[in-house]
Structure 1
Amino acid sequence: MSLLSTDAGRSGSSGPARRLAAWLHRHPSARLSALLSAPVLWLGVAYLGSLAVLFLSAFWTVNSFTGEVVRQPTLDNFRTIVTDAVYRTVTLRSIGVAVAVTLVDAAIALPMAFFMAKVAAPRWRRLLVVAILTPLWASYLVKAYAWRVMLANGGPVDWLLGGDGNGPGYGLTATILVLSYLWLPYMILPIYAGLERLPDSLLDASADLGARAGRTFRSVVLPIVVPAVVAGSIFTFSLSLGDYIAVQIVGGKTQLIGNLVYANIGAANNLPFSAALATIPVLIMVVYLVAVRRSGALEEL
C-alpha cells in the first residue's frame, strides 16, 4: 500500500503543474511577465484605452440638427477652444487657481512637515501623521459642503472676521481656499518624507561650522525640500486643475475647465467638445511632468 502511494506521489509530482513551475523557475523573465500581465492589461485597457477614446472623440463633432455624433475627424473643437476668448480665459483662470492652491499648500505644509520631521518627538510623529491622514477618510462632498456652510453669509467665517458679509463668500477666493484645504495632505506627506530622510547630523554639522539658520536652510535643507515640494505640487496642481465639484459648491459664478466639461456633457450634450476640453488638463500635466522630471521630484512620489 505504501509502495503504491509513493509511486502515485512521484507520478503526481511530475505532472503538468510541476513541469510548468519548473519551467517558470528556469525562466525568470517569463515568470515576471506572467505576474505583470494582469495589471498591465488593466492599465492598457482601462486607463490608456479610455484616454485613447477621449482623444479620438475630441476630433468628432455633433450634428446641430439631429444631435447625433458625427464620427469624422475634424479640428473644429480645438479651433473653437483656441479662438474663443471665453475658453482661453477659463483655461488661464484654471491654471491660476491650480498655481495658487499649490503655493498656499506649500506655504502651510513646509513648517508643518519640518515640525513633524525634526522637532516633534518620535512618539508624536505617528500621531501627527494620522492627524494629517484623517481628513482623507472623510467624504469629499462632506468636506466641501462643510466649507459651504462656513463661508455662507452670516456663517462662522463672517463671525470670525467681525460681522455679516465680511467673509469671502462664494467665488474664486472660496474655491482656492476649499481646494487648498482638500489637497493639503498631498503636499505635507511628500515634504515630511523628504525631511525625514535628512540626517540630523547634517544640521548639527552645519551649526558646528558656524552656519546660521538661513545658511543651513539654503545649503542643507533646501536641496532636500525642493524635490519634495515639486512632488507634492504634482498632486495639488493636477487635482485642482481638473476639479469641478468644489467650484460647483462654493465657486458661485466662477467657471473653470471642469465646469465647462461637465456643462457640455449634461445640458449641451456635446460629448466631443467635452472631450476636447478635457484634453487641456491632460496636456498641461504632460508638459508639467516633463518640466519637473529633471528635478528628481518623481523619485519622491
Structure 2
Amino acid sequence: MQRTASAADFNAAQRFFRRASSLLWRRPRVAATVLLAPPMLWFVLIYLAALGILFLSAFWTVDDFTGEIVHQWTLINFETLATSETYRAIAGRTLGIAALVTLTDIVLAFPCAYFMARIAGPRLRATLFVVMLLPIWLSYVARVYAWRLILAHDGVLNWTLHQLGLPAADIGYTNTAMWLVFSYIWLPFMITPIYAAIERVPGSLFEASADLGAKGLRTFVKVTLPLVVPGIIAGSIFTFSLTMGDYITPILIGGPGSSFIGNVVYSNVGIANDIPFAAAFATIPAVVMVAYLFAARRLGAFEMM
C-alpha cells in the first residue's frame, strides 16, 4: 500500500509539472514573471530597502550625551556637509581623483583594447586576456601593498631612480600615488568593455572609410570613436564608481590629507558612532552615481555590459 501511494504521489506531481510547463510555454510573460520574481523581490526588499533606510537615517541625529539616535527630522547633517570646508574638500578630492582615474584608464585602455580586437591573433589575444585578468584574481589588499612597497620613500621606485643617478620621485603617501594605484587596479574594468565595443564594429566600415580616402586619424574620429563611446561609458561606470567608493587604498597609499568619502563614513560608523552623519555623507556618491547611470543609459552604455 505504501509503494502504491508513493507511485500515485509521483504521478500526480508529474502531471502537475507538465501542466505548469505547458501553461508557461503558452504564456511567456507568465514564465518571465515567475523566473524574475525571486531576484526582483530580493532586489527590492534587500537592496532598495537598505538604500531607503540609509537615506532616511541621514535626516536623524545622535544625542551627544547618550549616543542614541534621535528620530527627529532635521537637515543639520547636510548643513554641516555644505558649510564645512573639510568635508567639501574630501568630497571634491574623491570625485576629482575618481574622474582623473577614469580619464587615465580610458587613455591607457583604448590602444590596448584596439590591439587585442583588431590586430592580435587568436593566441596572442588569449595570452593578453590572461595577462590582463591575472591581477584581478589576486588579493586586492596584496596588490595595494605591492604598490606601497614600490612607491614608498625607500621603495623600489626611488631606489631605481637613485641607481640611475636621478632624483627621488617621493610620491609615496600622496594623492599622486593614489591616482597611480587606482588607475592600475581598475584598468582591466575599462579594457574589457572597450574591447567588446571595438570588436562589434564591422570591419567593412574601416574598409569603406579607407576607400573614401580617410586617413587613420579621420577614421578614428569619424568611425571608430562614435561607435565605441558606449563601451567607454560602460567602462567609466566601473572605474568611477569603484574609485569613488574605495576607502582601503587611501588608508594604505594616501597621506594624512588623502581621505575619501568612504574613510569619513567608516570612521563615523565604526569610531564616532554617528550613523546619521555617515548616511548623509554616503548619499553624495549615491546621488552622483544615479545621475551618472541615467546619463550612461541615454548613451547606450548598458548595451556593452
Structure 2 length as normaliser, TM-score? Answer: 0.90
- Equivalent position of 2:227 in the other structure: 224
- Equivalent position of 1:141 in the other structure: 141
- Equivalent position of 1:193 in the other structure: 196
- Equivalent position of 2:59 in the other structure: 59
Q: Which amino acid aligns with 1:284?
A: V
- Equivalent position of 1:242 in the other structure: 245
* CA distance in 2 between partners of 1:43 and 1:8 (Å): 39
Q: Which amino acid aligns with 1:244?
A: Y
| Pair 1:40 & 2:40 matched | yes
RMSD over aligned Cα atoms? 2.2
* Deviation by residue 1:129-160 (Cα, 9 ceiling, x = unmatched): 22211111111111111111111112111123
Q: Is the 8 A contact 1:154 1:164 kept in 2?
A: no
Gaps of 5+ in 1: none
Structure 1 length as normaliser, TM-score? Answer: 0.92
Gaps of 5+ in 2: none
Shift of 1:167: 3.4
- Equivalent position of 2:83 in the other structure: 83
* CA distance in 2 between partners of 1:189 and 1:101 (Å): 16
Please point out which of 284, 289, 293 is paired with 1:285. Answer: 289
* CA distance in 1 between partners of 2:115 and 2:142 (Å): 29
Q: Which amino acid aligns with 1:243?
A: D
* CA distance in 1 between partners of 2:13 and 2:86 (Å): 71
Shift of 1:27: 3.5
Shift of 1:102: 0.4
Q: Which amino acid aligns with 1:255?
A: S
Q: Is the 8 A contact 1:81 1:87 kept in 2?
A: yes
| Pair 1:184 & 2:210 matched | no
- Equivalent position of 2:264 in the other structure: 260
Shift of 1:96: 0.5
Q: Which amino acid aligns with 1:265?
A: V
CA 1:193–1:16 in 2, change beyond 3 Å: closer, same or farther?
A: closer
Shift of 1:11: 6.6
Q: Is the 8 A contact 1:116 1:125 kept in 2?
A: yes
Q: Is the 8 A contact 1:101 1:176 kept in 2?
A: yes
SS class of match (1:131): helix
* Deviation by residue 1:183-229 (Cα, 9 ceiling, x = unmatched): 10110001100111112222222222221111111111111222211
SS class of match (1:161): helix
* CA distance in 1 between partners of 2:14 and 2:174 (Å): 72
* CA distance in 2 between partners of 1:285 and 1:11 (Å): 53
Q: How many residues align?
A: 296
CA 1:298–1:18 in 2, change beyond 3 Å: closer, same or farther?
A: closer
CA 1:8–1:144 in 2, change beyond 3 Å: closer, same or farther?
A: closer
Pick which of 108-117 and 14-23 moved more.
14-23
Q: Is the 8 A contact 1:194 1:224 kept in 2?
A: yes
Q: Which amino acid aligns with 2:156?
A: P
